[in-house]
Chains A and B, each alone.
Chain A
Amino acid sequence: MQYMILIYGDEQAYQSMPAEAQQDVFKAFMEYNAALAAGGVLRAGESLQPSFTASTIRMKDGRVQTTDGPFAETREQLGGYYVIETTSLDDAIAWAARCPAIHGGSLEVRPLAGVGVG
């Protein structure tokens, strides 16, 4: 079963960290990526640019309307994702729990529908 791990955190908190602390976070993520790869569960993953770079589009009166930023103002923003493959939810949760973002943020673990787009 493939699961997406959606990483939510406070961007402000990260951006206001001293450079050294940011380096530590980066290093922790590199180690986590390596662990996922070594465990044979990693299928995909990326981190995202800050949410102010996002555009939200929706259809209004038959026309595409573009607005800036994410849909709603929240304390935590989507900052990145992984796709991993494990046999059960518990295994997926165990992997997600090792993600450095768990300190101060939260992770959503959600099965992929498995329908695919290709």
Chain B
Amino acid sequence: VSSAARAVDDALVTFWGDERVRVLATLIKSARGDIDAAEDALADAVGSAVTEWAEHGIPDRPAAWLLTVARNRLIDASRRAAASDTTLDEQREFAADDTAAPSADTDDRRNEAATAAVDDRLALLFACCHPALAPLAQSSLALRTIGGLTARDIARAFLEPEATTAQRLVRATRKVRDAAIAIEIPAPEQRAERIGVVRQVIYLLFNEGYAANNTAVHQRDGLCREAIRLAELLAALDTNDTESRGLIALMSFHHARRNTRLDGDGVIVPLEEQDRTRWHREEISRADELLVATLRRKQPGPYQIQAAIAALHAKAPTASATDWVQISTLYAGLRFWWPTPIVELNAAVALAMARGPEWGLAELDTLATQPDMAHFHLLPAARADLLRRAERFDEARIAYAEAIALTTATSERRYLERRLAEVSARPS
């Protein structure tokens, strides 16, 4: 491989991680919500870049180049469609509108200015989260367009057959295009009812990047950074939006620990064993400043509470110095907002850490009797952990085996297997 080809590869990888979403969002808007057409046009443009850049050099602003070329592809495609079917007025309109867009050769500079100024990412996210789409369609669509995940990745994340995900995506993309769901940030009145879902989907995007499931490292990191950027764009819409600021802080605390979350073999490293010297301290301080300023507004909510919990972990000098009493109190507050299985579980673990494993085990036993917890795969894992801490190794062994059987993510399973080996070596 020539060095020119390698440089082109690097430039395209950088584009994909840093600017793909922004360019795609603008293209989808130009294509009036036709996500497939926009994605095809971008893929075409990337294809052209491989040969053109190798021959003529990488342009100063690769993203602007790709946007311009992809836009021209969109115009060509819509002209072809208009020629083959002149009864479709909207396609003619679309072609007419976009003839005004600068072409690659004539007006690069104007287009570059436009690329710098326009950011349709948040508009795209609001469209993905439109209430006319079912919840699973909303998150699938966001994971595909903003997350850049394939139907197969999403199917794996949702633990469902790929055909189910693919079918849902086909319907959702068609609905965005055919029902004319606007690629726009809604007016403040409508925003209020939609912002909760938007935050939830941002956090889902972040967690998909963070969960270390099935994707390559740089892609995961890109997803996390994209989620944080989206939350920043969302918060910038409204100075009184404390929850979006809580969400930024929450994700930033987690993201600051990115280098220590997995060991060299890709096995999850639990928080208490992570090398705290490798955490990004300056990111933690920035997140903390934002959180403190936000909490001072006295408009609490679940993201701010979770951020406060993450802050206590991130700021503890050692694992044993963690303020579990305060964390346990915060979880009690979080349960009020979100009585979900994962929150109930974490609340029980926090109680165990604050008061002793037997307290947490008693809580978990109560939880296990609830119908929606019966098949929750993290329950036996949490139980196993507390049994290990209580030095009830025989029971811990059984619980770890049960948890392993229920866990699909490789990195998590290998962690549990490590623990199982540890407790098996201990006499009870």
Point out residues on A near B: beta carbons under 8 Å: 1, 3, 87-90, 92-93, 110-111, 113-116
Shortest C-beta distance, A2 to chain B (Å), equals 10
Given known contacts A89-B132, A90-B190, A114 and B88 CB-to-CB distance under 8 angstroms: yes
> Are B87 and A1 in contact, with the CB atoms below 8 A?
no
> Are B88 and A89 in contact, with the CB atoms below 8 A?
no
B178 interface contact, C-beta 8 A: yes
> Are B180 and A89 in contact, with the CB atoms below 8 A?
yes
Shortest C-beta distance, A85 to chain B (Å), equals 11
Residues of B within 8 A of A90 (CB): 181-182, 184, 186, 190
8 Å CB contact of B90 from A1, A89, A92: A1
Point out residues on B near A: beta carbons under 8 Å: 87-90, 130, 132, 178-182, 184, 186, 190
Residues of A within 8 A of B179 (CB): 1, 3, 89, 110-111
Q: Return the chain A residue nearest B180 by Cβ.
A: A1
Residues of B within 8 A of A115 (CB): 87
> Are A87 and B87 in contact, with the CB atoms below 8 A?
no
What would 13 more interface pairs be, CB under 8 Å, given A93-B132, A111-B179? A1-B90, A1-B179, A3-B179, A87-B182, A88-B181, A88-B184, A89-B182, A90-B181, A90-B182, A90-B190, A92-B180, A111-B178, A116-B87
> Are B87 and A89 in contact, with the CB atoms below 8 A?
no
> Are B88 and A87 in contact, with the CB atoms below 8 A?
no
Residues of B within 8 A of A113 (CB): 178
Q: Tell me, in angstroms, the Cα distance from A86 to B90 when the chains sit together.
A: 13
Q: Tell me, in angstroms, the Cα distance from A14 to B327 when the chains sit together.
A: 56
| Residue picked from A92, A93, A110, most chain B C-beta under 10 Å | A93
Residues of B within 8 A of A88 (CB): 180-182, 184
The 6 closest A-B pairs by CB, nearest first: A88-B182, A1-B180, A111-B179, A89-B179, A89-B181, A88-B180
How many A-B residue pairs have C-beta atoms within 8 angstroms? Tell me.
Answer: 33
Q: Which DSSP category, helix, strand, loop or mixed, fits chain B's interface? A: loop
Q: Tell me, in angstroms, the Cα distance from A1 to B181 when the chains sit together.
A: 11
Q: Tell me, in angstroms, the Cα distance from A3 to B190 when the chains sit together.
A: 20
Shortest C-beta distance, B395 to chain A (Å), equals 53
Q: Tell me, in angstroms, the Cα distance from A3 to B180 when the chains sit together.
A: 10
Q: Return the chain B residue nearest A88 by Cβ.
A: B182
Residues of A within 8 A of B180 (CB): 1, 87-89, 92, 111
Q: Return the chain A residue nearest B88 by Cβ.
A: A114
Shortest C-beta distance, B168 to chain A (Å), equals 19
Residues of B within 8 A of A1 (CB): 90, 179-180
Residues of A within 8 A of B132 (CB): 89, 93
Given known contacts A1-B90, A116-B87, A89 and B130 CB-to-CB distance under 8 angstroms: yes
Residues of B within 8 A of A87 (CB): 180, 182
Shortest C-beta distance, A21 to chain B (Å), equals 30
Residues of A within 8 A of B87 (CB): 115-116
Shortest C-beta distance, B35 to chain A (Å), equals 15
Q: Return the chain B residue nearest A87 by Cβ.
A: B180
Q: Return the chain B residue nearest A116 by Cβ.
A: B87
Residues of A within 8 A of B88 (CB): 114
Q: Tell me, in angstroms, the Cα distance from A87 to B177 when the chains sit together.
A: 12
Shortest C-beta distance, A58 to chain B (Å), equals 27
Q: Tell me, in angstroms, the Cα distance from A88 to B177 when the chains sit together.
A: 10
Shortest C-beta distance, B328 to chain A (Å), equals 44
Q: Tell me, in angstroms, the Cα distance from A95 to B110 when the chains sit together.
A: 38
Residues of B within 8 A of A114 (CB): 88-90
Shortest C-beta distance, A109 to chain B (Å), equals 8
Q: What are 27 of the A-B contact pairs (CB < 8 Å)?
A: A1-B90, A1-B179, A1-B180, A3-B179, A87-B180, A87-B182, A88-B181, A88-B182, A88-B184, A89-B130, A89-B132, A89-B179, A89-B180, A89-B181, A90-B181, A90-B182, A90-B184, A90-B186, A92-B180, A93-B132, A110-B179, A111-B180, A114-B88, A114-B89, A114-B90, A115-B87, A116-B87
Shortest C-beta distance, B255 to chain A (Å), equals 33
Shortest C-beta distance, B81 to chain A (Å), equals 13
Q: Return the chain A residue nearest B33 by Cβ.
A: A88
Q: Tell me, in angstroms, the Cα distance from A100 to B380 when the chains sit together.
A: 53
Residues of B within 8 A of A110 (CB): 179
Q: Tell me, in angstroms, the Cα distance from A1 to B186 when the chains sit together.
A: 18
Residues of A within 8 A of B130 (CB): 89
Shortest C-beta distance, B271 to chain A (Å), equals 43
Q: Tell me, in angstroms, the Cα distance from A87 to B33 when the chains sit together.
A: 12
Shortest C-beta distance, A69 to chain B (Å), equals 30
Q: Tell me, in angstroms, the Cα distance from A3 to B184 when the chains sit together.
A: 19
Shortest C-beta distance, B120 to chain A (Å), equals 15
Q: Tell me, in angstroms, the Cα distance from A93 to B179 when the chains sit together.
A: 11
| Residue picked from B88, B89, B182, most chain A C-beta under 10 Å | B182
Shortest C-beta distance, A91 to chain B (Å), equals 8
Q: Tell me, in angstroms, the Cα distance from A87 to B132 when the chains sit together.
A: 16
Shortest C-beta distance, B189 to chain A (Å), equals 10
Q: Tell me, in angstroms, the Cα distance from A89 to B174 when the chains sit together.
A: 13
Residues of A within 8 A of B181 (CB): 88-90
